[in-house]
Structure 1
Amino acid sequence: MTLRLQPVQVATGSYDTEGQLVFADGFLVAVLIRLSDDHDDLAGMWFLEAGFGRVVTMELPLFADLDKAQNWIEQRLAHAA
């Protein structure tokens, strides 16, 4: 499995507009949003705005960086296979 990230601006209705589309083998599996300075201690972290297929979760986790987010997504995809 190969993950590919694509930067995107997301209309979230807040200042959190910096996003990444996450593709696994060509399929969109997640949308990540970088939290803005409005989130104080969480600023700069990445939030799972949406997961699709095997990445769907009710938890909506936060990640310190994109590498951690990608690792989490890869684990979700691998465990559900």
Structure 2
Amino acid sequence: MTLTLQPIRVATGFDEDGMMVLDRQRLVAVLVRLADDNEVAPGHWYLEAGFGRIDGASHPTFASLDGAQDWIAQRLARHP
């Protein structure tokens, strides 16, 4: 599965560096990079929003964009 990342600013009020995650030109998730001074997970990527199969109560953080993409791809593959 090939996911496409597109940088975007996200109006969260604090951490605004984001990535739209697209699967075949469909928006499936929005990730936000947490600030380096974040107390919980500095520099990690947070699942700000998930759509379709990515939607749910869980909004995990990821140490890298690769990790986030792997998690998203697994969720998309799990539900054909």
Name the TM-score class by shorter chain: over 0.9
The equivalent residue for 2:13 is: 13
Identity %: 55
Q: Which runs of 5+ in 1 are unaligned?
A: none
Q: How far apart are 1:41 and its partner, in Å?
A: 5.2
Q: Which runs of 5+ in 2 are unaligned?
A: none
TM-score, scaled to structure 1 = 0.93
Aligned partners of 1:62, 1:4: CA distance in 2, in Å?
19
Structure with the bigger percentage of helix: 1
Aligned partners of 1:78, 1:35: CA distance in 2, in Å?
27
TM-score, scaled to structure 2 = 0.94
Listed one character per residue, the Cα deviations across residues 27-58 of structure 1 (whole Å, up to 9, x for unaligned) are: 00000000013413511100000000011120
Number of corresponding residues: 80
Question: Which residues of 2 match residues 38-49 of structure 1 at below 5 A?
Answer: 38-40=37-39, 42-49=41-48
For the aligned residue pairs, the C-alpha RMSD in angstroms reads 1.1
The equivalent residue for 1:28 is: 27
- Runs of 4+, deviation exceeding 4 Å: none
**Is the partner of 1:40 in helix, strand or coil?**
coil
